[in-house]
Amino acid sequence: MPECEICGKQTESAFEINLEGAFMMVCEKCARGKEVTRSFGNGDERRQARRIVSTRAEPETDELVENFGEVIRKAREAIGLSLAVLAERISEKESTLVRVEKEKTLPSEKTRSKLEKELGIRLATKTTETKSSLAIRKNEPTTLWDLAQKGKGKKGE
């Protein structure tokens, strides 16, 4: 029985994946989201390989625009609304909107949606960026994975 080269688990069905140029034999769980090149094991290898490959696409997420608080404040002032009136119109607390405008708090998706609709602005953009391709986080220990991902981004630029 083959052994997964990532987690070490014994598996009946093994998959060969291309992981950043390195070909590895892995279990079904470790193959999820990776580029499967071949599968070995049980008779339904093709179905399993297709299913795993189809999970590769990264889900789209919404990312707040830079200076979202300033965007909200300018749009609110442009149509002549006070914070109290805006809060009443979108059924939110005024204190919540104050914190959002000062960028001390991120708006929830529901609040963001209500602000966009009421003020006629866009506060989010669609992105398919993965966690591993984000910048290295401050105040957290840097890992080898972080360094490898940072270096990978520089080469492609």
SS (H, E, C) 78-146: HCCCCHHHHHHHHCCCHHHHHHHHCCCCCCCHHHHHHHHHHHCCCCEEEECCCHHHCCCCCCCCCCHHH
- Residue 96 identity (one-letter amino acid): T
Both 116 and 69 in a single domain?
Answer: yes
Q: Which helix (H) or strand (E) holds 51?
A: helix 45-54
Q: Pick from 99, 109, 38, 41: which is nearest to 72 by CA? A: 99
- Taking only the tens place, the pLDDT of each residue in 30-57 is 888 887 888 776 544 444 444 444 444 4
Exposed/middle/buried for 55, CB within 10 Å: 0-12, 13-18, 19+? exposed
pLDDT for 117-132, tens place per residue?
A: 999 999 988 765 444 4
Q: Kindly report the average pLDDT of the chain as a whole number.
A: 77
pTM above 0.85, yes or no: no
Residue range(s) defining the domain that contains residue 47 = 14-54
> Is 67 found in the same domain as 116?
yes
Q: Report helix, strand or coil for 20.
A: coil
- Residue 19 resides in a domain: yes
CATH number at residue 83: 1.10.260.40
Contact 128, 61 (CB under 8 A): yes
Q: Indicate whether 145 belongs to any domain.
A: no
* 69 lies in the same domain as 115: yes
Integer Cα distance of 14 and 131 in angstroms: 27
User: Does residue 42 share a domain with residue 18?
Assistant: yes
